[in-house]
């Protein structure tokens, strides 16, 4: 008789979905709370850009160490550790724009702690999820980022209005603590698979020796091919696209509240549910991309390689034109539509480059994710801070921030990056496993 027990791998995917949701509620929450507090205190745009980008310095620092730790210690353990650390740090963060040093230190610590999360998630999913389910499983997991961002944009401005900016941090810490308890209670390491093909694909491989007689084999297979990873063109295709994806995402995530407030003169509190639409669109399109990708692969409509290339190219090109058109719209509806198209199709593109980590290196998915996400985090540092400098330069040149000219370069840069990076992925990526 067939067991009706809910598969553990589905529970793992659900928990990682909630994990990414909470992480992005935190990121959007800080952007909203700090923007409101800093604007009230008269902080300059360049100073705002510096504080908003501080998180990404810590985040970049811990990406590769996070992948290494997940590989050596286990993604499940590292994921729990990182969540506990950032939740505690977030609870202690003082939201006073005049206490710059304290803000920088706490944001660095939150960034370092969260930098362990996505390499750990990729390690966990590569162990638990069979190859034919990976696109939609990763899409479900990463779509949590966008649902979290959407919920943050919808609910947190009202929380700031009624309870003050500091209340956002306490709410985020409570969410982080609750998720940590759920993960501690329900998550587990996968059973080691006895099927050779499954093990070769990374499925069911715990990456940790479980018996003394297996220690020699485990030590031999745990050698990470660093040189091959850094010299691989398919890895660099992922890295370039990860950089571009996060450049566009982080610029919009951190500066869209300012664009609504200063560029369009609309209050976030008065915009209602429309302000969450760009991130809700990402949630929808991320899952659509995963379903389409797995359908194409399982039905053999396209090869894995061509499936990744088609979805990545379509997603990034539509996003590019949407980003470049965004400053032409001067109504909230037009900007919401354009930013929704840009972020939605970026999320569709994740079914190309993001899943590709597990295609080419299932056994080292966390490591490769750590490498590519470091590039994505550098994009956050560069994009968020550069945007602040561009806007400050516009003010120095006596240009009103409500003018489209002040924002044209802000959105043109990620648009051009999308076109360039999609070309790189089209020429150099592969869906074949290249790391044993």
Q: What is the CATH number of the domain that holds 324?
A: 1.20.1250.20
Q: Is residue 434 part of a domain?
A: no
Residue whose pair of structure tokens reads 């490498």 in the numeric block? 371
Spatial distance between the Cα atoms of 44 and 36, rounded to a whole number of angstroms: 13
Ranges of H-type helices in 164-211: 166-186, 196-200
Q: What would the pLDDT profile of 130-145 be if each residue is shown by its tens digit?
A: 767 777 787 788 888 8
pLDDT the model gives residue 270:
64
Q: Is residue 406 part of a domain?
A: yes
pLDDT the model gives residue 271:
64
Spatial distance between the Cα atoms of 44 and 173, rounded to a whole number of angstroms: 28
pLDDT the model gives residue 311:
94
Q: Is residue 131 part of a domain?
A: yes
Q: Is residue 433 part of a domain?
A: no
pLDDT the model gives residue 268:
64
DSSP letters for 383-433: HHHHHHHHHHHHHHTT--TTSHHHHHHHHHHHHHHHHHHHHHHHHH---S-
pLDDT the model gives residue 237:
94
Structural domain of 183: 8-428
How far is residue 209 from each of residues 75, 135, 220, 223, 226, measured CA to CA in Å?
14, 28, 11, 13, 21
CB 140 within 8 A of CB 290: yes
pLDDT the model gives residue 200:
39
Q: By C-alpha distance, which of 122, 100, 102 is closest to 110? A: 102
How far is residue 148 from each of residues 23, 49, 172, 283, 288, measured CA to CA in Å?
7, 22, 11, 9, 18
pLDDT the model gives residue 398:
62
pLDDT the model gives residue 397:
73
The set of residues, in sequence order, having a beta carbon less than 8 Å from that of 171 and lying 6+ positions away, is: 29, 156, 159
Q: Is residue 105 part of a domain?
A: yes
pTM of the model: 0.73
End-to-end CA distance of the chain: 37
pLDDT the model gives residue 282:
85
As for how many domains the chain has, the answer is: 1
Residue whose pair of structure tokens reads 């991320």 in the numeric block? 286
Q: Is residue 254 part of a domain?
A: yes
Q: Is residue 3 part of a domain?
A: no
pLDDT the model gives residue 277:
83
* Length of the chain in terms of residues written: 436
Q: Is residue 181 part of a domain?
A: yes
Spatial distance between the Cα atoms of 207 and 189, rounded to a whole number of angstroms: 10
* pLDDT < 70 stretches in the chain: 1-4, 131, 191-222, 267-273, 398-399, 402, 436
Question: 172-182: string of b/e by CB count within 10 Å (b at 16+)?
Answer: bbebbeebbee
């Amino acid at each position: 008789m067939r067991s009706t027990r809910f598969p553990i791998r589905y529970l793992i995917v659900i928990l990682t979905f909630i994990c990414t949701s909470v992480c992005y509620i935190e990121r959007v929450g800080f952007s909203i709370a700090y923007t409101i507090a800093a604007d009230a205190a008269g902080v300059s745009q360049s100073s705002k850009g510096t504080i908003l980008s501080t998180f990404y310095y810590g985040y970049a620092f811990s990406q590769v160490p996070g992948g290494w730790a997940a590989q050596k210690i286990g993604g499940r353990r590292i994921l729990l550790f990182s969540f506990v650390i950032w939740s505690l740090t977030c609870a202690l963060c003082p939201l006073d724009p005049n206490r710059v040093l304290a803000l920088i230190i706490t944001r660095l610590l939150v960034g370092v702690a969260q930098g362990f999360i996505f390499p750990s998630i990729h390690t966990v999913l590569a162990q638990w999820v069979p190859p034919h389910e990976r696109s939609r499983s990763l899409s479900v997991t990463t779509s949590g980022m966008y649902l979290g961002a959407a919920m943050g944009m919808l609910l947190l401005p009202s929380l700031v209005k009624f309870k003050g900016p500091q209340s956002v941090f306490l709410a985020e810490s409570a969410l982080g603590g609750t998720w940590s308890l759920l993960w501690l209670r329900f998550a587990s390491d996968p059973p080691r698979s006895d099927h050779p093909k499954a093990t070769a694909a990374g499925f069911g491989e715990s990456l940790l020796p479980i018996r003394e007689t297996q220690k020699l084999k485990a030590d031999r297979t745990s050698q990470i091919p660093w040189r091959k990873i850094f010299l691989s063109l398919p890895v660099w295709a992922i890295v370039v696209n990860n950089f571009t994806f996060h450049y566009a995402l982080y610029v919009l995530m951190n500066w869209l509240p300012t664009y609504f407030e200063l560029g369009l003169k609309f209050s976030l509190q008065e915009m209602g549910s429309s302000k969450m639409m760009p991130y809700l669109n990402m949630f929808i399109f991320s899952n659509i991309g995963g379903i389409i990708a797995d359908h194409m692969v399982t039905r053999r409509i396209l090869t894995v390689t061509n499936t990744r290339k088609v979805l990545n190219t379509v997603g990034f090109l539509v996003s590019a034109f949407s980003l470049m058109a965004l400053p032409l719209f001067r109504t909230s509806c037009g900007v919401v539509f354009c930013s929704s198209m840009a972020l939605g199709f970026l999320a569709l593109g994740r079914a190309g480059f993001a899943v590709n980590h597990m295609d080419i290196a299932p056994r080292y998915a966390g490591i490769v994710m750590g490498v590519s996400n470091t590039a994505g985090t550098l994009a956050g540092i560069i994009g968020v801070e550069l945007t602040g400098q561009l806007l400050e330069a516009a003010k120095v040149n006596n240009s009103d921030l409500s003018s489209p000219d002040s924002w044209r370069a802000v959105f043109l840069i990620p648009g051009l990056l999308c076109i360039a990076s999609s070309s790189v992925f089209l020429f150099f990526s592969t869906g074949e496993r290249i790391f044993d």
